Structure 1
Amino acid sequence: MTTECYTCDREAEFDQLPPRERITYDNLWRVVHATGTALLGWLVLVPRRHVMELADLSNAEATSLGTWQVRLARAIADELHTPKTYLAEFGEAHGFHLHFHIIPRPRDLTDDVRGPHIFGLLGRADDEQVIAARDDLAMRLAAHFVT
C-alpha cells in the first residue's frame, strides 16, 4: 500500500518493521527511533491512525498522550542517563502525519545544538553501525514497557 503518508505506509507494514520502528506500542500509539540522526535515543511517538492535527486526536489518544511522553522520557533517562528530555511537535514535515519528538539531551551537548537547535542534528545519513545501535537500544527500551 502506498499513500502520501510515510507514517501510514510504515504502519501498513507493521509486522515486518525492525525493532527501531516498533520499540513499543499499543492500539493507539507506536514509538519509533528517528532516522537521519546520530543522536541515539531520539524517539518519535506516532498515532497509529492517520491524523494531521493535534486538535484531531480522539479523546482516548489525547488522554494517553501525556502518559506515553512521560513513560518514554523515563525509559530514555534510565537507559542513556540523560539529565533532560525535550518534547516537540511541529507537524511541518511533508509526507508525515502528526508526530511527537521525545529527544534526550545528553550532558555533553554543546550550546549550539541545545533547545530548538537540536533539530540541526537531523538530516544526516544513516550508516549500518548507527542503525544497529538503534535496534539494540530499541530492544532495551522495549523491556521498560513489558507488563
Structure 2
Amino acid sequence: MNTTDCFACTQTAAAALPDREQVVRTEHWRVAHAFDSALAGWLVFLPTRHVTSFAELTEAAAAEVGPMLLGLSRALQKVVGCVKTYQMMFAEAEGFSHLHIHLVPRAADLAPELIGPNVFGYLKHPREEWVPTERMDELARELRAALPEE
C-alpha cells in the first residue's frame, strides 16, 4: 500500500481538518475521534508518518505516545466520566493497516457483553447510531481543555 491509498495518511495530509480529526496533533501523532463509533469519546491515535507496526516508529514518536495516552485517558475520565480506558492496537482491518491505537473510555455501567475486546461492538452499530459529528467536535474541544498544562 502506498500512502495515497492509506486513509490515515490522506486525512493527516489534509490542509484543514475539523476538531474531531485533530483532538491533539503533534509532529509525530494525530488523535482523532473514531468516525464509525456509537461510543462518544472513542479516540484513535495515528502516527503522522506511514508505519504499520510499533517497530517502525521513530524513538521520538515512541517516547511521545505514552504521555499522550496518559493525558487523554485522564481527560476522558473528566469529560465522559469513564472509570478507565482501554488501549488496543491491531491494525488488521482491510484498508486500515496504518498503525493506530484505540483509546476507548470504559464506563462503570458498560454492558457485560461489551467488556474488554467486545467493546468493538460499538463499531458495528448502524450509521444512524454513530456519534454525530457535531458531538465529536464538541468532545474534541472539551478533551483539549481538560488536558494538563505542559
TM-score, normalising length from structure 2? 0.89
Q: Cα offset for 1:107?
A: 1.5
Distance in structure 2 (CA, Å) of the matches to 1:93 and 1:129? 21
Q: Which runs of 5+ in 1 are unaligned?
A: none
1:113 matched residue in structure 2? 114
Secondary structure of the 1:104 match is: strand
Secondary structure of the 1:86 match is: strand
Q: Partner letter of residue 132 of structure 1?
A: E
On the 8 A contact 1:19/1:138 being kept in 2, the answer is yes
Q: Partner letter of residue 112 of structure 2?
A: D
For residues 126-137 of structure 1, the aligned pairs below 5 Å read 130-137=132-139
2:75 matched residue in structure 1? 75
Q: Cα offset for 1:129?
A: 6.6
Q: Cα offset for 1:123?
A: 3.3
Q: Which runs of 5+ in 2 are unaligned?
A: none
Distance in structure 2 (CA, Å) of the matches to 1:105 and 1:29? 23
2:64 matched residue in structure 1? 64
Secondary structure of the 2:103 match is: strand
Distance in structure 2 (CA, Å) of the matches to 1:22 and 1:57? 20
1:35 matched residue in structure 2? 35
Secondary structure of the 1:32 match is: strand
Secondary structure of the 1:3 match is: helix
Q: Partner letter of residue 41 of structure 1?
A: G
1:4 matched residue in structure 2? 5
On the 8 A contact 1:79/1:141 being kept in 2, the answer is yes
2:21 matched residue in structure 1? 21
Q: Cα offset for 1:144?
A: 3.1
Comparing 125-134 with 85-94, greater Cα deviation is found at 125-134
Aligned residues, how many? 145
Q: Cα offset for 1:4?
A: 1.3
Moved over 6 A (4+): none
On the 8 A contact 2:38/2:129 being kept in 1, the answer is no
* Root-mean-square deviation (Å): 1.8
TM-score, normalising length from structure 1? 0.91
Q: Partner letter of residue 36 of structure 1?
A: D
On the 8 A contact 2:85/2:104 being kept in 1, the answer is yes
Distance in structure 1 (CA, Å) of the matches to 2:13 and 2:25? 14
1:94 matched residue in structure 2? 94
On the 8 A contact 1:41/1:134 being kept in 2, the answer is yes
Relative distance call for 1:129 and 1:109 in structure 2 (3 A) is: closer
